[in-house]
Amino acid sequence: MLNLKKTVCAAAIVAFAAGLPLSANAAEWRGWNIHKPDYPNTVAMDKFADLLKEKSGGKITLKMFHSGTLGTQPDAIEQVRIGGLEIGNFNLGPIGPVAAEANVVSLPFVFRDMEHMHRALDGEAGDKISAGMAKKGLVALAWYDAGARSFYNSKKPIMKPSDVEGMKVRVMNNDLYSGMISALKGNPSPMAFSEVYSSLKTGVVDGAENNWPSYESTGHFEVAGFYSLSQHLIIPECVCMNTAAFEKLSAADQKIVRDAARESAVLQRELWAKRAASSREKVMAAGVKFNEIPDKAAFQDAMQPVYDKYLTDNPDIKPLVALIKNTK
């Protein structure tokens, strides 16, 4: 794996030596994506790059780096914030720690279902989240889908909150997720996405949580064969751009960039729905032991302290949570 800092540094030196400007108006933007070549997000980000070139008549070009080759997600978020990279397809989970507004989507069970999430993000709540992110260096150009996350592990079916007790569960980098596992009396283990497969395989962790496509594309189903449909988190993703770079663009170019991102999001959502179904079929055919959860409210109740603590610590966010809850 390439070292992100070294890469960015090397690019800066080359640009400097060649007398090229380091701004985002330089010939080619660079974009980060964690997923493999055939994943919906990957296909959609490539489409975004094609559309940028086409709509700008070749003035704006984006080179995508897929499969996390430019480093971990928290590092890449930082790089886009400071302008080391122009573009990233990020999950809002690891953005939460840098933009409090974005953290609302990481409150367990905040969305009733995918449709509720879409309506909230396409409305006033989405505008407030975007505004909070833009202040922290990330312009959300468009929203991508990432389904609902459920628990999986190598030990047993999870039917009720107490089944998580004592389990080592990998989470993404965000204290809310660690709090969520602690609330179930499990042991949270924040870790990079790329390390989860071997950690499951060697027993460093017993389980993790993710949507069907990521459970399948990473091969986690091969080493953690119990998938329990808790659907405790519905976390959207963004096509994000460095704020300063975006603001430097002319109004016409800003429109081109937003339109291209939104068009790619339409494709991503279509591909996502298909992939969620095909990934589920694939892992089931491979022998995954799947279970529904009889009483999801029990998980919601057990995770309530995470919710309450977050809102006590961040009272400014309460209206945004209410806005989401009241979105019909």
92 binds ligand BDP per the rule CB under 6 A: no
In whole angstroms, how close is the CB of 11 to ligand BDP at the nearest point? 23
33 binds ligand BDP per the rule CB under 6 A: no
Q: Cβ closer to ligand BDP: 214 or 243?
A: 214
Segment lying near ligand BDP (by CB under 6 A), choices 154-162, 208-216, 223-231, 320-328: 208-216
Residue 216 makes CB contacts below 8 A (sequence gap 6+) with 279, 280, 282, 283
130 binds ligand BDP per the rule CB under 6 A: no
If DSSP codes are grouped into helix, strand and coil, which group holds residue 136?
coil
Run of H or E including 303: helix 296-313
What angle in degrees, to the nearest 10, is found between the helix axes of 318-325 and 124-135? 150
Segment lying near ligand BDP (by CB under 6 A), choices 210-218, 251-259, 280-288, 308-316: 210-218
In whole angstroms, how close is the CB of 152 to ligand BDP at the nearest point? 11
The pair of three-digit structure tokens given for residue 172, joined into one six-digit string: 């993404």
Q: Cβ closer to ligand BDP: 60 or 221?
A: 221
**Measured between alpha carbons, how far is 167 from 157 in angstroms, rounded to an integer?**
12
Q: Cβ closer to ligand BDP: 11 or 204?
A: 204
In whole angstroms, how close is the CB of 240 to ligand BDP at the nearest point? 12
143 binds ligand BDP per the rule CB under 6 A: no
Amino acid identity of 46? D
SS3 content of the chain, % helix, strand, coil (to 5): 50, 15, 30
Could you say which of 4, 8, 24, 34 contacts ligand BDP (CB under 6 A)? 34
Nearest to 225 by CA among 247, 200, 252: 200
210 binds ligand BDP per the rule CB under 6 A: yes
Residue 201 makes CB contacts below 8 A (sequence gap 6+) with 223
Write the DSSP assignment of 221-250 as a string of letters: HHH--EEEEEEEE---EEEEEEHHHHHHS-
Segment lying near ligand BDP (by CB under 6 A), choices 2-10, 51-59, 206-214, 270-278: 206-214
Segment lying near ligand BDP (by CB under 6 A), choices 21-29, 98-106, 207-215, 252-260: 207-215
169 binds ligand BDP per the rule CB under 6 A: no
If DSSP codes are grouped into helix, strand and coil, which group holds residue 91?
strand
211 binds ligand BDP per the rule CB under 6 A: yes
Q: Cβ closer to ligand BDP: 52 or 196?
A: 196
State the pairing for strand pair 289-292/226-233. parallel
Give the footprint of ligand BDP on this chain (CB under 6 A): 34, 73, 91, 146, 172, 193, 210-211, 214, 237
